[in-house]
Amino acid sequence: MDLNLIPFGLIDVTNKFVDIYDVERGKSCNCICPSCRTPLIARHGDSNTWHFAHAHKGVYKKTKKECEYSFYLSVRLMARQLIDSRIALGLPEYESHVDKFDDELGYSVQEKFIITREQNVTIEEIKVEKFFSGVAVDLIGNINGFQFVIYFTHQNRDVPIELYTPNSHKCGVIAVELNSLPMLFSKARKDGKTYKEVLEIFLSTNRDSKKWIFHPSYKKQEIAAFEALEETIKKLKEKKNTPFKFSSTDSHTFISKEDFLDAAVDSYMLDRKKNAQT
């Protein structure tokens, strides 16, 4: 779907957003553009993508630059309206890692750790377009006494740096990337769905679009991972400095430190490969 095509219009009288599928064709839709506030017409084509367009060609040319991202603005505003005060979300797993280069070993050792598994949560007491850590965010809600922030991202709208280090650590911050919605909306009519229905499904179930920006358990899990990393390095050094003995019925054979180090590195890399596959 072209980013200059608007899936949701604003009814000026009620200040409510509506789907292109929920209004009459043409100027009778009584909608305006949520970006530049000019009148819209509803285009219900037989083969083309259904969308709102600026009512007058001259107006469209004049406001095209201002409305270049009207698609995303209308989606963000409709998402806020759909969510209202409560929403169930499917959240992704949050994984990270710590690493350290050890001079004695001669290579870097890495320790992966899980901050949270994927899960379904219900966010309540949601408020829209509030300030959090000094920046405007799309939504702020509550999960078991913890503040939960949702920030929508798309082309030319990245997560503010302040949300990576919020003032309060008793919170969670999730970014929801909207860049896949133009493609999903393009298939909506074929799939027998309205844009609003596609958006509702996307917000609730699409985990790939969501990314953890901050989690209250991150620091605790990071400290535990560093402790585990130090223990791993300690064991690798012990193996490195301990001659490996092969026994047979007739004799005992020792390998050199260099050969053992090569074997230890190979073993460590093999373990990392196995862990990455699980």
- Domain limits, the chain: 8-71, 87-219, 242-277
Least Cα distance to 188 among 43, 23, 51, 40 occurs for 51
State residue 211's pLDDT score: 96
Say if residues 236 and 105 touch (Cβ distance below 8 Å): yes
Place of tokens 């001079």: 103
> Among the listed ranges 71-75, 179-183, 214-218, which one has the minimum average pLDDT value?
71-75
pLDDT in tens, 138-177: 999 999 889 999 999 998 899 999 999 999 888 999 999 9
**Residue 255 pLDDT grade (very low, low, confident, very high; cuts 50, 70, 90):** low
Are 39 and 27 a contacting pair, CB within 8 Å? yes
Name the pTM for this structure: 0.76
Q: How far apart are CA 116 and CA 118, in angstroms?
A: 7
> Environment class of residue 151 by beta-carbon count within 10 Å: exposed (0-12), middle (13-18) or buried (19+)?
buried
What percent of the residues of the chain are helix, what percent strand, and what percent coil, each to the nearest 5?
35, 35, 30
pLDDT value at residue 189: 80
Burial status of residue 206 (CB atoms within 10 A of its CB: 0-12, 13-18, 19 or more): middle
pLDDT reported for residue 264: 67
pLDDT of residue 2: 65
Share of the chain above pLDDT 90, in %: 43
- Residue 220's φ and ψ, nearest 5 degrees, are -60, -45
Sheet of 16-19, strand order? 16-19, 8-11, 31-32
